[in-house]
Amino acid sequence: MSTFSFDLAATDGRARTGTISTPRGDIRTPAFMPVGTAATVKAMLPGSVRETGADILLGNTYHLMLRPTAERIDRLGGLHSFMNWDRPILTDSGGFQVMSLAGLRKLTEEGVTFKSHIDGSKHALTPERSMEIQRLLGSDIVMCFDECPALPADRDRIASSMELSMRWAARSRAAFGDRPGHALFGIQQGGLEEDLRGQSADALIDIGFEGYAVGGLAVGEGQEAMFGCLDYAPEQLPADKPRYLMGVGKPDDIVGAVARGIDMMDCVLPSRSGRTGQVFTRHGVLNIKNARHMDDPRPLDENCGCPACRGYSRAYLHHVFRSQEIISSMLLTWHNLHYYQDLMAGMRAAIAAGTFAAWQADFHAGRAEGDIDPL
């Protein structure tokens, strides 16, 4: 089996482009990972997700451990076979979802006990159990188990949480074992405190991981604070390993993160927005439910090559959304995912060409223009 590796091909300022190589295929960076929470990207077939340009998907440990269970997926051949996706999959550790349960969970040094949001059944998640679940799923990139406190939080709470996460990171590394062709990523914590982020990075580097994530952001702190943290956090992590910003985000969040040295991102936004009628284009965001689209024969974006833009008018997409037809979620999700992957391809090309600053200016100028005028 071939090994997991990262080749950094070019930089432009702090922005980077390269290739993550895995036995299941290459991941071009900067990379956006569509989220397949329950072993599916909602409203999309796996082949359709691939057609948008996605090299890798994200699966959710918490949801899959509860239903259909990791053990069942393992018996059925692993997550790739189960969901008919033969390319790389990254699974999160389950920590973020468990922490968001608040009143339904109890945190100790050992791990977390919690009640299922589905049926109230009791479960325990520890670094060792998280590694076992992700091994059963067969994911290519595994995330270590951590705690992610919501922001804002006081410094003592952030520091104690970060220190606990670093102890859990060491246990995750030990439990992961020797798995050629698979990678374990550590997760930097520390809130918005630069020194705590530095301590976290040092602890993770001492343990040693195949990649590193910037965790604990996009949890309520706002874009300005997030960018302030990203002005230093990625640089605290090894330059020769992939850097993953978890749970981000809106198009301008993604561009700003790449400009600050991030290589990988994921977010439910493009697929969730597609189901609610929110559409991303080069000229910003539009809502297909608005009456202005009712008689508009034009596509969502005349320069987009997705099926929604090639074959359907705004008037039709408005109609099927208002009529609550399933095809609305299918077409709008496809468009949004296509837009996100075009965004990543544009950044990769610009970084390689050394024109990323000009590309960024064009990106922001296009969004500032707003949607095309109504007819």
Q: Which entry of 12, 92, 146, 342 is annotated as an active-site residue?
A: 92
Do residues 49 and 55 make contact, with C-beta atoms less than 8 angstroms apart? no
Tokens of 346: 């544009």
DSSP 3-state assignment of 340? helix
Long-range (24+ apart) CB contacts under 8 A made by 291-296 are 292/374, 293/317, 293/318, 294/318, 294/319, 295/375, 296/374, 296/375
- Is the CA virtual torsion 287, 289, 292, 296 positive or negative? positive
The yes-or-no answer on residue 362 being catalytic is no
Q: What Å distances lie between residue 250 and 4, 57, 336, CA to CA? A: 29, 18, 11
- Phi, psi (5° rounding) for residue 114? -155, 165
Low-confidence ranges of the chain (pLDDT < 50): none
Residues in the chain: 375
Residue at 355: amino acid letter: T
**Rounded CA Rg of the chain:** 21
**Closest Cα partner for 47 from 337, 373, 340?**
337
Q: What is the pLDDT of residues 197-230, one digit of tens each?
A: 999 999 999 999 999 999 999 988 999 999 999 9
- Phi, psi (5° rounding) for residue 284? 105, -155
The yes-or-no answer on residue 266 being catalytic is yes
DSSP 3-state assignment of 351? helix
- pLDDT (0 to 100) of residue 368: 95
- pLDDT (0 to 100) of residue 102: 59
Q: Which entry of 140, 146, 263, 266 is annotated as an active-site residue?
A: 266
- The reported pTM is 0.97
